Structure 1
């Protein structure tokens, strides 16, 4: 098992079907970094509590809204232009790298918060993903959420 959240996220995301599931959930408004953190916490058997869920969301929400989201918006807006213009394509790749760096920074911040939480709650561990996705539950593809959980158990 990957000890740090970034390595866990990379390993999980690379598993068959996980990337597509995460992209579907992202398109539906879910914070995939937050969900990957939840999968990591489930894997570590950390007990989910409303306070812990809220603490993670307080870190992730503003970072997604103010940093990751704007970078993603620029990158997606430039998709069509980048197919026609090499200079825009090169700039788009740089924006994509910045977006990934921003996600890595977010994962490090989430890990720093959660690192000290003890991992001893075998009975409660599957509730992290549902707790973190609760606000998006009406729009969220629950099959994709389950696909992430399955991918994470093999990471």
Structure 2
């Protein structure tokens, strides 16, 4: 597995079924960057606790609401009309690239936040995934399991 969170996220997201699982969980209100970070931490054996979950949420929430969500909303707003407007479609693709870059920066912030946490203390990454998904509306347990399996490499 990759040692940095960005590389881990890219390789995990590319695994069969993970993209769909992440999108289902996102629809339930779970932040995908936080999910991928949780999977990464669990895979590395970092112990999950309430303080660490809150620390990660405090990193995610302002960046997601102030940076990622406005870019995503604009991209989605332009989706239908950009199908018949090549210039707008080109701009939409630039917004999409910027949205991905904003998510990369969020993952870097999450990685820095967890940098000093000891590894190899825990063996079950499910605690991380359940912790970040807690409170989500209509949580899809199958999607969460799909992500756990992909992140653990089994």
**TM-score interval (norm. to shorter):** over 0.9
- Counterpart in 2 of 1:144? 143
Please list every run of 5 or more consecutive structure 1 residues that lacks an aligned counterpart in the other structure.
none
Runs of 4 or more off by more than 3 Å in structure 1?
none
- The answer as to whether partners of 1:26 and 1:32 remain within 8 angstroms in 2 is yes
TM-score, normalised via structure 2 length: 0.95
Structure 1 contact 48–124 (Cα < 8 Å) conserved: no
User: What is residue 135 of structure 1 aligned with on the other side?
Assistant: 135
2:11 is aligned to: 11
After TM superposition, list the pairs within 5 Å mapping 1:38-117 onto structure 2: 38-117=38-117
Q: Let me know the Cα RMSD of the aligned residues.
A: 1.3
Shift of 1:153: 1.4
Secondary structure of 1:9 counterpart: helix
Residue 123 of structure 1 deviates from its aligned partner by 4.4
Is the contact between residue 25 and residue 140 of structure 2 (CA under 8 Å) also seen in structure 1? yes
Distance 1:19 1:124 in 2: 22
Give, in angstroms, the shift of residue 122 of structure 1.
Answer: 2.6
Q: Which one is further off, 120-129 or 15-24?
A: 120-129
Aligned with 1:45: secondary structure? coil
**In structure 2, distance between residues paired with 1:28 and 1:98:** 24
Q: TM-score, normalised by structure 1?
A: 0.95
